[in-house]
Amino acid sequence: MVVCEFPECTTFGSVIRFALELEKGAAGVCEELAKEPKMGPAAEIFRALAESHKKRGTAIEDMRQQKLNEMILEPIQDMHRENYLISTEYPKGADAKTAGRFAAKIEETSAKFYADAARIAKPLMSEGSRLLDKLSKESLANKAKLEAL
């Protein structure tokens, strides 16, 4: 099982850390699900999703390094950690349908997290907000794909 450590979302850095943990969790779960014996052709979808989540993590780290500006370091006081927690205890021995539903739940939570983060970032950092918004939309698309398995 992938172990994620989700912080309280009280600062820009902790929101980014939360996002990185989400991506790590999602990538890890997809990697493991791809290896499940009953996965069949869906294994390729999970492998591709795992790769995509790793790339998303890199994009988020780049944003942290390139876009953070001292002037916009306002405390974040209205994002609550418990609203965005995901489970990475994936169902061992699952078939594609069960695995798809499990991973779709992660994508649904991620989509909500990124949508809220994008809203908060928008007045402070529009380019960062666009990336977060894009990730939210991607997660929704991933969810639909997984639910169709």
Partner 1 sequence: MALLTEVQKNYGKLKNYVNGEWIDSTSDKVIDVENPSTTESIAKVPMSTVDETKAAIEAAQEAWWAWRETPPIARARFFFKLKELMEQHFENIARIMVQEQGKTIDEARGETRRTIENVEVAAGIPSLMMGYSLEDGAAEGIDEEAIMSPLGVFGAICPFNFPAMIPYWFWPYAVATGNTYILKPSSQVPLTQWYLTKIVEQAGFPPGVMNLVNGSHEVSDTLMEHPLVKGVSFVGSSPVAKYIYKKSSENGKRVQAQGGAKNSLVVMPDAVMDRTVSNMLASYYGCAGQRCLAGSNMIAIGDIADPLLNRWVEASKRIRMGYGLDESVNMGPVVSAKAKKKVLEYIDGAQKQGAKILLDGRNAKVPGYEKGYFIGPTVIDGVTPDMTIAKEEVFGPVVSFMRMKNMDEAIDFMHKSPFGNAASIYTQNGKWARDFRYRVQCGNIGINVGIVAAMAYFPFAGYKDSFFGTLHGQGKDAISFFTDRKVVITRWF
Least separation in angstroms between residue 119's CB and partner 1 is 13
Binder of partner 1 out of 2, 11, 98, 145 (CB under 8 A): 11
Q: What is the DSSP string of 29-72?
A: HHHHHHH-GGGTTHHHHHHHHHHHHHHHHHHHHHHHHHH--GGG
5 binds partner 1 (CB under 8 A): yes
Binder of partner 1 out of 47, 52, 54, 64 (CB under 8 A): 64
Least separation in angstroms between residue 9's CB and partner 1 is 8
Query: Residue 99: which H helix or E strand, with range?
Result: helix 96-121
Q: What is the rounded distance in angstroms from the CA atom of residue 34 to the CA atom of residue 42?
A: 7
59 binds partner 1 (CB under 8 A): no
Binder of partner 1 out of 3, 37, 41, 65 (CB under 8 A): 65
Q: What is the rounded distance in angstroms from the CA atom of residue 22 to the CA atom of residue 5?
A: 9
- Contacts with partner 1 by CB under 8 A lie at 5, 7-14, 16-17, 64-66, 68-75, 77, 123
